[in-house]
A and B are shown apart, each in its own frame.
Chain A
Amino acid sequence: VIPERPGPCAPEPNAPPPLGLPVSMGVRAALELAAGHVAASTPGQIWVTGEVTQVTRSPAGHLYWTVLGDGARLACSALGLDARRVLEALAGANVALVEGLALRMLGILAVYVPRGSVELRVSAVDPRTALGAHELARRQLRAALACEGLDRSQARLAPAPAPLAIGIVAPAGAGLADLVGLLDASPWAWSIRTAEVSAEGSVASARIAAAIPAAAAGADLVVITRGGGAGIALPYDAEVVARAVCRCAVPVVAALGHTHDRSITDEVAWRSVPTPSAAAALLCALIEAADAAIVETTQAIALAVEGRLDAVERNLDAVEAAIARELAVAQARAERPEPARLAQVVSAGSPAGEAARLRRIALVCALVALCAIVVLAIVVGLR
């Protein structure tokens, strides 16, 4: 048995034990001893970088998480104002303290006695480095698609005038049932082709990518959806799926059900909606718009024809009125003598007119008598 020397939890009133012998102490005292050594041997604040996991927040507003790196893990905490400062710094960089985030933190190493663990008491973070490996991969993929001109290929597509032929890529489950059920309940004549593809497992993304062109064949529009649940958004961030969406010849609607994290599929799709129900509403709205276009066009034609016929009718009314006026004038003319004729009649009945007539008769008689005398003279002469 190794002799002991008294420690803080087992005080011995006598003289201190000889140096080199073990000291007897309680758990808290041992940890407080360690805490003292840690505090004394670390150079104040230090920068530590690691990958965030196990984030929790207490009701009092304190933050606790763990960082991983180099095959080790380190508990971290930010208390009170420090917690608020950390969150504000990350929000300023448009990132959240979430699993997978690569974070550089400033703090002091300390022993948390109640748990017997060493932790980093964080007072600040460097938001410039706050980028998770997954997010980094997403950004690189986004940049690659943009460089190839694929990221806007879906946005440039126009849907069919009435996209009734729908291809659906989804795992079997509630999400698919919701979408198909809502479409079936609508008044529109959908032609639905479904490719049931699991969104879980290591080959999920490859299966989803292969199902997209299959669903698009003969379809006006493709819907990629899932049934919900956490942690299965990963296949929709896969490059192979994003490229299949970008290359799809018909518009793709992404309805992947996660409202906080937009996947690459959401970003490159023609439209992104949060849920299968929202996708059904979008499709129904497209057909309602098509129906309204028909109504609007037929009404416009009917109004135009009506306007033209009204114009013709107005012209006919005008012609009819003109004819009526002419008839009235003609009738009035028939019922009273024309002024010229009346003047002629009036002129023929006057004394001057009678004298002229008598002069014309006398002149004719004189000419006849002259002719008779000439004929008589000729006859006498011949005899």
Chain B
Amino acid sequence: VSYASDLAALEALRARLESDTELSVEALAAIAARADQLGARARATLRAARSSPAPSPPRAANS
């Protein structure tokens, strides 16, 4: 799971909405719920707190 895959899934939902004009009410509701879920997760990915310090610099480059 990554920001890119979530964004791609959102774009796919958007494309389906634009192309499929025969979606049922249940399908529309499912799309809306899925979009909310994906959007929230993608935004959380951008803002996720760092749980560990940044890795140490690659000393090999200095040698």
Q: Are B28 and A305 in contact (CB under 8 A)?
A: yes
Q: Are A193 and B10 in contact (CB under 8 A)?
A: no
Name A301's contact: one of B17, B45, B47 (CB within 8 Å): B17
Q: Which residues from chain B contact A305 at a C-beta distance below 8 Å? A: 17, 28-29, 31-32, 35
1/0 contact string of B1-19 vs chain A (CB within 8 Å): 0011011001101100110
Q: Please classify how large the interface on chain B is, using the bins under 10, 10 to 19, 20 to 34, 35 or more.
A: 35 or more
* A308 interface residue per 8 A CB criterion: yes
Q: Which residues from chain B contact A297 at a C-beta distance below 8 Å? A: 7, 10-11, 14, 35, 39
Min distance, Cβ A313 to any Cβ of chain B, angstroms? 9
* A187 interface residue per 8 A CB criterion: yes
Q: Are B54 and A301 in contact (CB under 8 A)?
A: no
* A78 interface residue per 8 A CB criterion: no
Q: Are B31 and A214 in contact (CB under 8 A)?
A: no
Name B4's contact: one of A161, A195, A197 (CB within 8 Å): A161
Q: Are A214 and B32 in contact (CB under 8 A)?
A: no
Min distance, Cβ A175 to any Cβ of chain B, angstroms? 15
* A62 interface residue per 8 A CB criterion: no
* A192 interface residue per 8 A CB criterion: yes
Q: Are B43 and A291 in contact (CB under 8 A)?
A: yes
Q: Give residues in A with beta carbon < 8 Å to B.
A: 160-162, 164, 169, 180, 187-198, 207, 210-211, 214-215, 287, 290-291, 293-295, 297-298, 300-302, 304-305, 308-309, 312
Question: Please, could you name 20 A-B residue pairs with CB atoms under 8 Å apart, sorted by A?
Answer: A162-B45, A188-B46, A189-B49, A191-B54, A192-B54, A193-B57, A198-B62, A214-B61, A290-B46, A294-B6, A298-B35, A300-B14, A301-B10, A301-B13, A301-B17, A302-B32, A304-B18, A305-B29, A305-B32, A305-B35
